[in-house]
Amino acid sequence: MSVTEDRIRALPLWKSRITIEPLRGGLSNESFLITESGGRHVVRIGRDFPFHHVFREREIMAARAAHAAGFGPEVRYAEPGIMVTEFLGAKTFDGKDVRANVARIAALIRHFHEEMPRHVSGAGFMFWVFHVLRDYARTLEAGGSRMKSELPHFLSLADELEAAQKPLPIVFGHNDLLPANFLDDGEKLWLIDFEYAGFNTAMFDLAGTASNAGMSEQEADALLALYFGAEPDPALRRAHASMQCASLLREAMWGLVSELHMKAPGVDYVAYTADNLERLDAALERYRSTFG
């Protein structure tokens, strides 16, 4: 029996003997499905990652707020390094599912942005991807990253993409809308994994949804139109396209930082970085050919 399993079995909320089954797919945390007489639960194990601006106390607050607002599973227990939530038994989306449910996704994101500020508590946290990129560059410089020579290029690109943004109201964003963070129970969509949640503009969630799901330009425009309730004007389309590039740059630099500071079972951070840099090159080519 592993130390992790020992720790899970020792949690005080179980009503009977438990079975533990690893859940695959996490890039930075370990998750387990727990079955016992009181039902099924998900145990999420993760420490603070200051280099990624991830702090578990804030994640737990956001997860509880998301449940109160009707977006996320119930948080049933939490202690430093561990959070236990309700197991929804819902389908985990992939990119194809996101693209096939654009109207539902747009409505969910808009409702999340509008409703969450009524439920979050404590000190506010701001997630601005261009600050994250600059801070990642400092971390990579200090850590002697294998791609240290590329940092001036990454920072120049961040400046270019930030300049293309359009002023928008501040909302409370999820800020990590990978397809696997959308769940469908057959009746409603749910969101999970709130470790990056914080105040932002809507554009990062909209761009992250589009880029992570591999949306075409037409699909991305449809997402914008459904979210804003009108066809996007050229400035909004440009801001969205540039933010999709920023989202991919952030994923690539996330991978580089993770190479230096993290070890998750079965995760190849070098391959993750390479994949996102390749996708970034393709997105940049489309962006510049369309907008200059």
The Cα 41–Cα 86 span in angstroms is 5
**Contact by Cβ (8 Å): 32, 8:** yes
Q: What pLDDT is stored for residue 220 in this prediction? A: 95
Statement: residue 1 has pLDDT above 80 = no
Residue 237's pLDDT band, with cuts at 50, 70 and 90, is very high
Mean pLDDT of 263-284: 92
Q: Helix, strand, or coil here: 55?
A: coil
Do 76 and 54 contact (CB within 8 A), yes or no?
no
Range of 25-34, 42-51, 257-266 with top mean pLDDT: 42-51
| CATH no. of 3-86 | 3.30.200.20
| Rounded distance between C-alpha atoms, residue 279 and residue 97, angstroms | 20
The mean per-residue pLDDT over the stretch 256-281 comes to 92
Q: Are 72 and 87 in contact (CB under 8 A)?
A: no
Taking each helix axis from N to C terminus, what angle separates 234-261 and 129-143, rounded to the nearest 10 degrees? 30
Given pLDDT bands bounded at 50, 70 and 90, which one contains residue 27? confident
Angle value at C-alpha 265, between 262 and 270, nearest 5 degrees: 55
| Per-residue pLDDT tens over the stretch 134-150 | 999 999 999 999 999 99
Statement: residue 57 has pLDDT above 60: yes
Specify the pLDDT at position 272: 95
**The model's pTM:** 0.94
**Token pair for 4:** 């992790």
pLDDT number for residue 113:
98
Fold of the domain spanning 91-291: Aminoglycoside 3'-phosphotransferase; Chain: A, domain 2 (3.90.1200)
CA distances from 90 to 131, 195, 228 (A): 35, 20, 28
CA distances from 169 to 37, 172, 198, 200, 203 (A): 46, 10, 14, 8, 10
Alpha carbons 154 and 276: distance in angstroms, whole number: 13
Q: What is the pLDDT of residues 65-124, one digit of tens each?
A: 999 999 999 999 999 999 999 999 999 999 999 999 999 999 999 999 999 999 999 988
Q: Where are the domains of the chain?
A: 3-86, 91-291
* Assigned token pair, 10: 């020792």
pLDDT of residue 146: 98
Q: Which amino acid is located at 12 in the chain?
A: P
Q: Encode pLDDT of 171-222 as tens digits.
A: 999 999 999 999 999 999 999 999 999 999 999 999 999 999 999 999 999 9
Residue 3: what pLDDT? 73
| pLDDT the model gives residue 64 | 98
Across the chain, mean pLDDT equals 95
Look at residue 286 in the predicted model and tell me its pLDDT: 94
